[in-house]
Structure 1
């Protein structure tokens, strides 16, 4: 019989009113790198990156750590990310690293996660915690892809760099957790500014976009 799962002693699920203005929310943009896509099976977490957004400004408050997945990094992942075995051999365990990420979020009382395909990053954290019999309550989260598809419904499945060029935002080192988190943070802020011009200004408005309950807008 499986034992009861434990919870990490951090607060991530802050209550928030639906009429709260987007600009008044504290966000954490997250990104992860892994040894592959078979999360929960043979692959594991090797890097976490995060950046804090306050008052719709990308701050200098960032988080980055390598993670030791207790397995070797495949050659093609090293080639893609430049993360080598030496970077992870003495890095924190997944449980320790995720705990550090959550403490970072708690420090700034972040009420919402942001990510580019954020569901994957959440799955990675969930599976790594599950291996240690831990769980957590996922905070309010938004995916930049949902916002992009609302503003630009005809856009193809492009690379993060392509979206940065499309919306005129900064790009940072690709396929590294902090670099991708920074690129996503700047993209998110620009997307929100464009949405505000279309009277998308509150948490409720963002949730309607997330849930597909709004009419598609025309990209400008």
Structure 2
């Protein structure tokens, strides 16, 4: 219905005013006197009062629901960065929302789509220009990720080896390229080198340092005999987002959640007993507040050293054959420790994941210190204390997040990151804006926290979850 909220408020206001007028009319004209008993006019007065109070309550409910939906839309817009600049599909349907709010969501979705279309148009033009360059060219990040390549470079180095986001060190010798990079940065000018490839090939290359974006431009020289492929053409491929790195912000209690250096973490396991079950997969995505750095993602299968129960495989899809050649948990713990350094770990029922990792570290004699952690389930239970369903699907629906790749470590990381981004404006409305604020409310007594303690997730006490605390 067009103007749904406006009309609903007008109707409830009319009903409220009519009710209170009906209650006042008999009293003003002396038609109702309760000292003489409850007669017809007295009943009319009481009925009008009841209608007025009901109408007032309906108005407050409509307004409260409307502002709650606005906060959720705010969260969905923040979470759009996680989804690549789109609103969740749920905002494309009315779902009983007022027409005004639905039009606002539609306008935001249109602007986001227009921005993405403009970006794609600029990208297409840039790709065409770079594709017309005669020499094979590459751009790599400071960590060696390929962020740009033209068709000639792909033909020269091999389509099976050269890909966006792949490591240049899978093609060129690491030591030689690192030395050339240092020389170029020291001279603040391009240098020319003969770079050896990992398969024995050599490439005459001009290496130019770049400050913005930080990295290197590699130009493969056309006068190197025997190396140039037949002429090729085509647009360049690029992803300049690979150069983005989170700022180095030290953790402190008063750090705003919107600037929080974090790692969205999830583990898949052989079961739900934190004392004895093992990790079979671990994934993490680096965050800075609501922003994701997908190129800094971590995703590993883990060989648990024990058979994976069929009941667990049915949930996460990981079998014994899939982890046969995977690294042991000791290697993964070392890698996770490096990723978590200086960051807060975020997860849905993250105490479960940390308890399993803690037990694995003790089992294998690996040094491990629990990082500071924020649990999206506990944060949500603070926002909605009467909401009993705190599994990831229910919380995602309330926060405007979309479920993709559920019960895979990487998929659950993405969902958790989107949930956290969507929660930020809701938490801010309740005065929770800093890391210390979030840690304080998570420590408040709640049914969810009590269940996590009973399951043995927060300490050394052994115990098995009853399925209620850890519907992960």
Normalising by structure 1, we get a TM-score of: 0.83
Consecutive unaligned residues in structure 1, runs of 5 or more: 1-13, 214-220
Corresponding residue of 1:28 = 263
Q: Deviation at 1:15?
A: 6.5
- Check 1:15–1:211 CA distance in 2 against 1; reply closer, same or farther (3 A cut): farther
List per-residue Cα deviations over 1:68-111 (Å, max 9, x = no partner).
Answer: 011111111111111111211110101111212222334xx42x
Kept in 2: contact 1:126–1:135 (CA 8 A): no
Check if 1:70 corresponds to 2:305: yes
1-side partners of 2:404 and 2:411: how far apart? Answer: 5
Q: Please, which moves more after superposition, 149-158 or 24-33?
A: 149-158
- For the residue of structure 2 that corresponds to 1:138, the secondary structure is coil
- The aligned runs of 1:108-127 (5 Å cut-off) are 109-110=342-343, 112-127=344-359
- Structure 2 residue 319 is the aligned partner of structure 1 residue 94: no
**Cross-structure match for 1:6:** none
Selected match of 1:200 from 414, 419, 432: 432
- Is residue 46 from structure 1 mapped to residue 280 from structure 2 by the alignment? yes
Aligned-partner Cα distance in 2 for 1:15–1:185:
20
What's the secondary structure of 1:135's corresponding residue? coil
> 2:385 maps to what in 1?
153
Contact 1:58–1:186 (CA<8 Å) still a contact in 2?
no
Give CA-to-partner distance per residue, 1:15-60, whole Å, 9 cap, x none: 633222112210111111111123333x211000111111421231
Confirm or deny: 8 A CA contact 1:21 1:203 kept in the other structure: yes
The separation in 2 between residues aligned to 1:166 and 1:25, in whole angstroms, is 23
More helix by share: 2
Structure-2 separation of matches of 1:120 and 1:126: 10
Measured in 2, the distance between the counterparts of 1:86 and 1:104 equals 27
The residue that corresponds to 1:84 in the other structure is 319
Greater displacement, 47-56 / 97-106: 97-106
TM-score by length of 2: 0.40
Distance in 2, Cα, partners of 1:32 & 1:86 = 18
> Equivalent residue of 1:150, what SS?
helix
Greater RCO, CA 8 A, separation 6+: 1
Structure 2 gap ranges (5+): 1-248, 446-472
Alignment match, 2:293: 59
Number of aligned pairs?
Answer: 196
Distance 1:190 1:89, change over 3 A: same
